[in-house]
Structures are given as structure tokens and as C-alpha cells.
Amino acid sequence: MINKCFTPILPSINPSNCLNLMLPMIMNRRFFYLFFFIFLVLAACHPNKEPDPKDALFQLMPSGQTGISFNNKVVDDGDFNVFNYRNFYNGGGVAIGDVNNDGKPDIFFTSNQGECKLYINKGNWKFEDVSAKSGLSPLAYRRHHGGY
């Protein structure tokens, strides 16, 4: 099959030397792909620039300004760890809804091992912790999982 391809095009060349003729073309193709890959890598590299805060969709607000101070601290031990609970480090969750029917979204944080927190929205990004007033028990997690 190769002989038929090269014989009409290059009649003066011995068909047994076709591989010797194709080797430079194959090597050139490999070098082309290698240099193309290196070019793509270098073109993708650019110096790290700080993003413009005006372009951000979200902004970090300090807890002193918002009134929200929730930390889902997770401590693994013999019973509660990633081997027994696959999603151990994923966190409990967050729910946003209007709890007190004032038309403002309130926030409820659930905890894996600590206290769940309910924050009532006071407007203008100010929240009030009403976990104790709402009857959320700090021991709810331990009671549910066989403690106390």
C-alpha cells in the first residue's frame, strides 16, 4: 500500500526508503505539537493581579458590622470522623427565609457539632442573634446523637 502511494509521486526513490523519508515529517509534527503546547502554557501564564473590588459579586463584611458570628467548628474523634460520616467536613447548612414575616430574609445556620444559630434581619445588613429567644437548644446536637 505504501509502495503504491510513493511510487507515482516519487518514481526515482526506492520504496524501501519510504520510512526514512517519513521520519523527518513525523519528527517535525512532534516538534510542532511540543512547541504548540509550550506556547499555550506560556500564553496562559500571566502575572497575578488583584481583582478590582468594584467588579466583585460579593464583598466580605466583618462580623462586627453585620452582627453574624457563626463558626461551624468540627472536631473529629473516634465516633464522629470522615470515615464514619462521608460528608463530615461539608458543614450542616444554611437556610435563608423570612422567619418573622417582616419581608426581610433571615438566616439560619446549622452546625455539625455545635450550636445552631438564627439571625433576624434588621435591615441594612444588620442581623440580631435570636437563637436563645427562639428556643434553640445548644445541646440539640448532643441530644440527637445520643449524648447527655
d(CA 133, CA 118): 9
pLDDT of residue 36: 76
Going by pLDDT thresholds of 50, 70 and 90, the confidence category of residue 139 is low
Q: What is the mean pLDDT of residues 15-33?
A: 63
Dihedral, CA atoms, 16, 21, 25, 28, nearest 10 degrees? Answer: 120
Dihedral, CA atoms, 98, 99, 104, 105, nearest 10 degrees? Answer: -60
Give 45: exposed, middle or buried? Use CB within 10 Å, 0-12, 13-18, 19+.
exposed
pLDDT of residue 92: 77
Q: Are 121 and 106 in contact (CB under 8 A)?
A: yes
Pick the more confident residue, 108 or 20.
Answer: 108
Q: Are 100 and 110 in contact (CB under 8 A)?
A: no
pLDDT of residue 110: 87
Query: In this predicted model, what pLDDT tens digit does every residue of 82-132 receive, in sequence order?
Result: 888 887 777 778 999 999 999 999 999 988 888 889 999 999 999 999 998
Query: In this predicted model, what pLDDT tens digit does every residue of 25-78 receive, in sequence order?
Result: 666 777 777 777 887 877 777 667 777 778 888 888 999 999 999 988 888 788
Widest Cα–Cα separation across the chain: 98
Q: What is the mean pLDDT of residues 12-28?
A: 59
Would you give the DSSP letter of residue 138?
A: T
pLDDT of residue 43: 76
pLDDT of residue 112: 80
Would you give the DSSP letter of residue 131?
A: H
pLDDT of residue 105: 97
pLDDT of residue 122: 96
Kindly state the cell numbers that stand for 112.
455539625
Its pTM stands at 0.58
Number of other CB atoms surrounding residue 124 within 10 Å: 7
Number of other CB atoms surrounding residue 121 within 10 Å: 21
